[in-house]
A and B are shown apart, each in its own frame.
Chain A
Amino acid sequence: MSLWEYANPKKFLTTSERVLPYVWAVSLACIAVGLVWGFFFTPDDYRQGSTVKIIYLHVPAALMAINGWLMMLVASLIWVVRRHHVSALAARAAAPVGATMTVIALVTGAIWGQPMWGTWWAWDPRLTSFLILFLFYLGYMALWEAIDNPDTAADLTSVLCLVGSVFAILSRYAVNFWNQGLHQGASVMRAAAITGSDTEEKVSNVFFVPLMVCIVGFVLLFIALVLYRTGTEIRSRRIRALMARERAGA
């Protein structure tokens, strides 16, 4: 059986409806376990105290913010190459989820930053990049909303997603460069590095395992939301098509 069979809307709906309850259950269980474990059963960080525990929300949300965009990019490419409607609709369904993850990452980042850096917002390269990513999500969703014809909308948003990805990467490098140029003091940068890729090295296993549980939970949550929303998009698309038929007098 080929993977492309799931590009058939009906097949997609029946399969996703069968799978969804399990994905929901496992995802919520993982998040609950990870958060409780992380919040109440790990020691405070020697330097940051209990504020470090927001990492269990912040890092998974940030990961899904980026991976959400990646998923949209892949889905857009599949639409451009193979013209599967489900793929285009999945990209559309993922955008608000990804945007919400970006907002969660930004807000938790600000809440974490307040006690650590003494300010809610610093133009730290990483935070700035997420803010720009959020703008990309906004533009992408606005373009989907603005266009009537669903095929036209799918084509245009796919190209925007492709071009946007290139510019998002460019912006990432530009922002890194820009902040270096502005602030000579590296104290903020060092504090920001806690949120970054070297987190895993700095954070000992005590923090690491519950963090991984949370990440798995967020990945599954993202999948569940996108599957669910894609189903909704497919149905609304079908209603549109049926209404168009009715107007055409069939």
Chain B
Amino acid sequence: MRALLVRDLKLAFRAGGGFGLGLAFFLIVTVLVPFSVGPQSDLLSTIAPGVLWLGALLACLLSLDRLLALDWEDGTLDLLATAPLPLEAAVSVKALAHWLTTGLPLVLAAPVLGVLLSLPGPGYLWLVVSLALGTPALSVVGTFGAALTVGLKRGGLLLSLLVLPLYVPTLIFGAEVARRGAAGMELATPLLMLAGITLGTAALLPFASAAVLRVNLR
């Protein structure tokens, strides 16, 4: 399992791996928001937690179609399916690698972008906490979507259509934590729900992902 993780990280960091694309997308979306809603800082600070969460979600979504498609094209998935490593473990590792190369940088970049949107002082901590807790769920759910659409020629758009509704609960609770954090309100309930969704999806969804991947490899 570690070999697969190390390989995926190496591939992401080497030239052409696409590492950093999600981050750049996140930056651009955040920069575009004030252009579209106006520069009033009180308005921006109200919508900042939601905008940052949405930006992070879209940046995650953007990189999903590469998650399994490359391994599908060059036959790696066929070979992995015949390897001793269970496919469930393989998709979990791929989701983890996706989070480390896409989700984690977004979490770390979010406070910097928060400054651009005049996020209120207490919001920074909870923005980072909510993203750190929620983005793994985005990667795991995204892996499921990527596994569903891996064999399709124009899978990218379909992937978004399938994955976005599945992102709704994570987005609602994640953005709620960030918003309540920024407003200094009590936030234990959404925080627990967010953690529950992440743990639940990480525990159960790899089985569904591996099942659909096996169907797609037939």
Contact = CB atoms under 8 A, between A and B. Distances in A.
Given A152-B215, A162-B208, A163-B205, A139 B197 contact: no
A160 interface: yes
Given A159-B208, A159-B211, A177-B189, A143 B158 contact: yes
Nearest to A181: B176
Interface residues of A, number: 26
B161 A138 contact: yes
B164 interface: yes
A224 B192 CA distance: 44
Nearest to A138: B161
Contact of B176 (A132, A138, A139, A178): A178
A146 B168 contact: no
A155 interface: yes
A133 to B, nearest CB: 9
A177 B191 CA distance: 12
B212 A155 contact: yes
27 contacts: A135-B165, A139-B165, A143-B158, A146-B149, A146-B155, A147-B151, A152-B218, A155-B212, A159-B208, A159-B212, A163-B205, A167-B165, A167-B166, A167-B169, A170-B197, A171-B168, A174-B169, A174-B172, A174-B193, A175-B168, A177-B173, A177-B189, A177-B193, A178-B172, A178-B176, A181-B180, A181-B190
A156 B180 contact: no
Contacts of B166: 163-164, 167
Contacts of A167: 165-166, 168-169
Interface string B132-175: 00000000000010001101101100100110111011001100
B31 to A, nearest CB: 26
Interface of A: 132, 135-136, 138-139, 142-143, 146-147, 152, 155-156, 159-160, 162-164, 167, 170-171, 173-175, 177-178, 181
**What is the interface residue range for chain B against chain A?**
20 to 34
B215 A155 contact: yes
Contact of B169 (A138, A142, A163, A171): A171
Given A143-B158, A174-B193, A177-B176, A163 B208 contact: yes
B168 A174 contact: yes
A159 B147 CA distance: 11
